[in-house]
Amino acid sequence: MNKLEELKEYIRSLGNLAVAFSSGVDSTFLLKVAHDVLGDKAIAVTGVSASFPRHEYDEAGAFCKKEGIRQFFYEPHELELEEYAANPKNRCYYCKHKLFSGLIDLAKENGITNVAEGSNMDDLRDYRPGLEAVKELKVLSPLREVGLTKDEIRAYSKELGLPTWSKPSFACLASRVPYGERITTEKLKMVEKAENFLAELGFEQYRVRIHGKIARIEVPAEDILRIASDDVRGEIVTRFKEYGFAYVSLDLQGYRTGSMNEVIDTGVKG
């Protein structure tokens, strides 16, 4: 039995499932398999938050509509939590605890007794304090349960015809703010507008980190020459200043996930 079949058997044994659905590679795959196996006993729950870009929200809705999946929405209001807004290095724990607590209640209201999230085996090698909240609240992690890696999920997603199989990795917009620097709706909107503009220019993988009024752009090494060219650079500077940035910089190390973690002791060994 391959891992996809193992996943189906595991989900079938649950009888019902509410999937925390963000429209990312992992949650889309998990939701698709859950719905294929459980039908209407599988639902999607999407968080509505300033740290969740509008285009991701729209993609989540379009996918559920296309697949005929019941979708519910939950607004965690995480910025009202001082522990989250202050942006400590375990910020993600507070966010996930608030989010999943609400998802569990919403699922119960709709007759669903199991709630799942989409972390995979590769996530265990990264700094993910939110997984502690997942553990505390007994939220299920089916992809990890059967040992699926990101590459395997992409391969199975392609096999299932999912549009997300080659979708770039994404993390919530709060991850663009340095630890200790307060998270505000204004900062998240600045980042969202800036990243949307990079997408409009044709870049596929990017991050715009915000340091006060400074934008630090990360793109893969192969895109650095293009983004630094006079015409593209000029467009970016003009537009970013319209969004509220005073200075615009390019990170010569290029794109990498979790670059904000480089200045803290996460306890995770690479």
Mean pLDDT throughout 189-217? 97
Does the pLDDT value for residue 269 go beyond 80? no
The values of phi and psi at residue 250, to 5°, are: -115, 125
Residue 157: exposed, middle, or buried by beta-carbon count in 10 A (0-12, 13-18, 19+)?
A: buried
Residues 67 and 99 in one domain: yes
Indicate the number of domains in the chain.
2
pLDDT digits (tens, 9 = 90+) for 42-54: 999 999 999 999 9
Residues 38 and 149 in one domain: yes
- Which residue range forms the structural domain that includes residue 100? 3-163
CATH code of 109's domain: 3.40.50.620
pLDDT digits (tens, 9 = 90+) for 237-260: 999 999 999 999 999 999 987 777
CATH code of 182's domain: 3.30.70
Q: How many helices (H) and strands (E) does the chain have?
A: 11, 7
Q: Is residue 213 part of a domain?
A: yes
pLDDT at res. 265:
60
Residues 78 and 199 in one domain: no
Residues 47 and 102 in one domain: yes
Residue 152: pLDDT band (50, 70, 90) is very high
Please give the Cα distance from 163 to 122 (Å, whole number): 21
Does the pLDDT value for residue 167 go beyond 60? yes
Q: Identify residue 40 by its one-letter amino acid code.
A: D
What does pTM read for this prediction? 0.91
pLDDT at res. 33:
98
pLDDT digits (tens, 9 = 90+) for 98-117: 999 999 999 999 999 999 99
Please give the Cα distance from 227 to 40 (Å, whole number): 46
Mean pLDDT throughout 206-218? 97
To the query of whether residue 92 is one of the catalytic residues in this protein, the response is no
Residues 179 and 115 in one domain: no
**Which residue do the tokens 């989409």 mark?**
118
